[in-house]
Structure 1
Amino acid sequence: MKMPVSDLPVETASGDAIELSPTLQGPASRRSTATAKEPESLETATGIHDRSNFCAPSLDQVTLVKRKREWSYPQGLRLEHNLHWAIGLLELANAGDFAANIWNDTPVPVYAIVFMAIGATAAGVLSVFAFRDASKAWHNVKFLRRQRRGLQDHKTQLLEEAQPTQQVDVFLDITKRELYTEVINRWGMDILMGGGAILISAGTYLAIGGANHKVWLASNILSGYVGNAPIALYGLVNSFWAVVMWRRKHSHSIAAKKQLQGTVALGIVKKYCFSVELFFALNGPTTLIGGVASMLAATRWWAYVILIPVIISSFFCNYWWRKRAGYDRPYLDLQTNMNAAGLVRALESAAEIRRAIQKGEAGDAWRQLVSDTGSLSTVLDFLVDHGMFETFALRLVEDLRVRTILCDDATDRVDMGVDGLLALPDHHQAIILDTAAQFIRKEGPKHFEHRQRFIAEVLGTYLSKVDTESNPREEEKLDVTQAVSSQST
């Protein structure tokens, strides 16, 4: 049973709305009729869409828009993993008022004025990064809310038809976690800490003119408790959410150990759960301690010493999330009879594809992944099945050689679909095939690493729900065992 894409509009980068046509619900309705050769290796990797009961395909048609000389696909089309590294330095902005609070007297020493100017400027610059990142996070929030509405409507329909809802419950659980994480760990952090950084910056600049009593008083208010209050509030809320998320991922790890013994997938799920657990184990206390220290720093100089490890930990958490725990994904697509065996195959296949691209020679890896590298239809099927078509379409319009084939240089909007690419002349298809091979070699490892994390999230959630029932169903255990046996043979 396929869940239709929501009829709600998706915003383009320019703010325009694009209706998702029912014909863009996914690739299942459009499958290649090309004769596929049996791949030389990576059998499971090349046949996920047919052999497993889980896949997360991308749309087979997308509208691309041009804004400020850059092309992008509509905002809200997929969950994007685009956290900026500078956000890890927001705790540094928290300490930007150190000179104003330490040398809180008049006349202000010259060296203190220099430190105040540096701290205030740093806090102000970081607030700009925070609000820019908040805008990106909000697009993800809208995407997840739209998807949750679609899933909830689908669940209501299943209940009315007296159909099982376990699969949609799994996806509702996942999107709830993604939504709250995006709201609390990113959007909320950007707004509260970015807002606090602006107040701290303004108060620190005012401290330079502290010889005026009214200016001195305003500076103390802004760079003191008022400026640091949003940071403390964020630390309190985020620490609570960190506990919730740590317990959730720990339950996933326990469920996987019970039900995935003897599979490669067990190691992948455990590694992913550990990465997320470590992030929240550090992020929660870091923001809580940072919030407390920021309030103390208004009157206690030694509180800035506490902020030193907080700043280091915050930057590490940002790096860890970007490189080891976060992921992007397309719009979720409900399949019929999703089960543990299918999820195990999909997860292990994604890991195998990533290893093949990383370790194999360029040409050999490409031939292993795609059964017929000379068939554009087969190559596009691979990209759609593995959730890469939207990103590939973006790569096509960014490549000047290909863009001249697809559209006029003056245009700022392109509708690109699989059927349209297959209708191109053979010599143009050859250029697109070459671009696809380069795209896979360059973007493939990162894409399949994100895909691996996402499938590990789905599998962990599914197993945890099974585990919360009285006992894992015997057929679930049997399915996983059979999957392992079939792969070993």
Structure 2
Amino acid sequence: MSLPGDSSDTLITPPSPIHPKPQMEHDHELTIIESEPPKLLREASDITWQESLEIQDAVTLVRRRRGRFRLLHQQQFRNSLLASVGYLELANAGDFAANVWNDIPVPTFAAVLMGIGGTLALGMTFVAVQDYRLSRRNVRLLQDEKEHLQRLRQYHVKNPELVRVLDSRLGVGMREIGTEVVDRIFMDILLGAGSILVGVGTLMAIGGANRRVYEASNLLSGYIGNGLAAAFGLVNAVWSYYLIQRFRHHDAAVRKSEPSGDIRRRLHARFRRFQWHAVINGVNGLIAGAASMVTATRWWGYVVLIPCIISLIMCNYFWRKKIGYDRPVLGHVSLARMQLTPLIEDLEYAIAMQRGLSGPEISLPQTILRPSSYESILQFIVQNRMLEIYADSLAHDKKTRSILLEISTSTSNQIIITHDILLRLSVKHTNTQILLDHASRFLRTDGVRIFTHRERHLLELLGYAIWQDQTVATQTQGTTIEMK
């Protein structure tokens, strides 16, 4: 059955009809095709475990003031880059008045501008600190997943098919960690520290009549403060160059393979987005860093800095809306009942779910989802590993938040959200329609976004798997030739 409409992200028709997964099956539990398919179709996108039906996903919420809740622990990798991070480069321009009107005595209008610019630069430090905290959560999750995958690889080293799957996930995971560390943590540390120095130096410039204050102000708001931005520009340029080359190789590998034309176009579009972002971000960082150093002695450096600030804002928006994604991370569970799902099949499923959920009315087969049944919607949410995001949405909606207060917690300020608990809450007549309306709205908004993000992750996994297969094949051929 093919579902009408276009993918909400890449707008390309799926390559083949979709065979929906039955309502009673686990999200990704499909056995590997027994016949001998192309190697590409045997690559697996996800590693899933069918555990006892009594064991369910659970999300813990912490009660806050005024009956509000928050997630106790983040369990998923999040596309949590703050929009305000795009304005971090603006802090480098906060010393404009201090560097341009570096006179004694300081003109009154210049002192006012120094106060505004210095305060702005210091204020951006809070943005850097908050983004650093969010990025550190992602890195911890990714590092735990990496260690778990490496242990699995060592234990199953004699299973080449499983090793290939684990290597694919490890390869993409390393790119995710690199992006979090370089494009967020390094940036937050260097630009955040630079904002403090520039802000303090700019405010000190108001009292520049004092010789020591004057010299300290020039150092802080000049070469030292702006030097950190230049250092980040260099680090970011090296990382951007690596990403450009990485996705160029992946794109070349995809062109040599034989996935369907539509899948190939999706992969090409995905890689191009990564490359364009890396090019603009890398060049922008170098120019902004150089311009920041120039501003210490030349006013025209700020003219060069203006387009860099605009470019950084646009890069930030492009990443959050078109490249970044949320995804579940693999937990520390048994491999006893592991089954693998072909990547392309997962892609088709994610695309079909986007289309079925994105319209004004949910248009999925009754075997997958019954829109009029809260039990069916809840089962769909749990099976597709959306419970954490769904619980978070319940905690932020005023109507559903009051329903969560009905969960008895004795003396604890924490409540545990599971499939069974939510189902029991929906039995109450006054709660039924509220929970059903909220769940339907959740699927049409957050649900579409979740499957869009999964498509992005699956495309990157597929591209890495194709490149990996071709690299191994090339090495094997070379070894064979040498032996002959």
Asked if TM exceeds 0.5, the reply is yes
1:356-435 equivalences in 2 (<5 Å) = 356-358=356-358, 360-362=359-361, 364-365=362-363, 370-408=368-406, 412-424=413-425, 426=427, 427=429, 431-435=434-438
| Residue number in structure 2 paired with 1:134 | 132
The C-alpha deviation readout for 1:20-66, integer Å capped at 9, x for no partner, is: xxxxxxxxxxxxxxxxxx99988435556345754488972111223
- Structure 2: how far apart are the matches of 1:281 and 1:252? 16
- For structure 1, the residue ranges without an aligned partner over 5 or more in a row are 1-37, 474-489
Distance 1:56 1:330, change over 3 A: farther
1:250-265 equivalences in 2 (<5 Å) = 250-265=248-263
Q: Verify the 8 A CA contact 1:249 1:276 in the aligned structure 2.
A: yes
Secondary structure in 2 aligned to 1:135?
A: helix
TM-score (structure 1 length as normaliser): 0.80
1:470 corresponds to 2:473: yes
| Residue number in structure 2 paired with 1:298 | 296
1:344 corresponds to 2:344: yes
- Structure 1: how far apart are the matches of 2:257 and 2:396? 45
Residue 453 (structure 1) aligned to one of 448, 453, 456: 456
| Shift in Å, 1:423 | 4.6
| Residue number in structure 1 paired with 2:94 | 96
- Structure 2: how far apart are the matches of 1:246 and 1:90? 24
CA RMSD of aligned residues (A): 3.0
| Residue number in structure 2 paired with 1:314 | 312
Aligned letter for 2:344?
A: V
Secondary structure in 1 aligned to 2:328?
A: coil
Aligned letter for 1:44?
A: H
Q: Verify the 8 A CA contact 2:60 2:73 in the aligned structure 1.
A: no
The C-alpha deviation readout for 1:185-226, integer Å capped at 9, x for no partner, is: 011101110110111000000111111111111101110111
- Structure 1: how far apart are the matches of 2:94 and 2:454? 39
Q: Verify the 8 A CA contact 2:250 2:464 in the aligned structure 1.
A: yes
1:122-271 equivalences in 2 (<5 Å) = 122-159=120-157, 164-271=162-269
| Shift in Å, 1:352 | 2.7
Q: Verify the 8 A CA contact 2:142 2:329 in the aligned structure 1.
A: no
| Shift in Å, 1:430 | 5.8
1:85 corresponds to 2:83: yes
- Structure 2: how far apart are the matches of 1:66 and 1:241? 41
Distance 1:444 1:269, change over 3 A: same
- What's the % identity of the aligned pairs? 37
| Shift in Å, 1:408 | 4.1
The C-alpha deviation readout for 1:221-256, integer Å capped at 9, x for no partner, is: 110111112211111111101111111122222222
Q: Verify the 8 A CA contact 1:242 1:280 in the aligned structure 2.
A: yes
Aligned letter for 2:422?
A: L
Q: Verify the 8 A CA contact 2:3 2:356 in the aligned structure 1.
A: no
- Structure 1: how far apart are the matches of 2:435 and 2:211? 68
Secondary structure in 1 aligned to 2:77?
A: coil
- For structure 2, the residue ranges without an aligned partner over 5 or more in a row are 5-16, 32-43, 50-55, 477-484
Distance 1:250 1:377, change over 3 A: farther
- Structure 2: how far apart are the matches of 1:153 and 1:262? 34
Q: Verify the 8 A CA contact 2:328 2:385 in the aligned structure 1.
A: yes
Aligned letter for 2:472?
A: E
Aligned letter for 1:346?
A: D
1:438 corresponds to 2:420: no
- Structure 1: how far apart are the matches of 2:86 and 2:172? 25
Q: How many residues align?
A: 432
The C-alpha deviation readout for 1:134-156, integer Å capped at 9, x for no partner, is: 11111111111111111112122
Q: Verify the 8 A CA contact 2:47 2:338 in the aligned structure 1.
A: no
Q: Verify the 8 A CA contact 2:48 2:340 in the aligned structure 1.
A: no
Q: For structure 1, which segment, 293-302 or 215-224, has the greater mean C-alpha deviation from structure 2 after superposition?
A: 293-302
Aligned letter for 1:49?
A: H
- Structure 1: how far apart are the matches of 2:258 and 2:116? 54
1:65 corresponds to 2:83: no
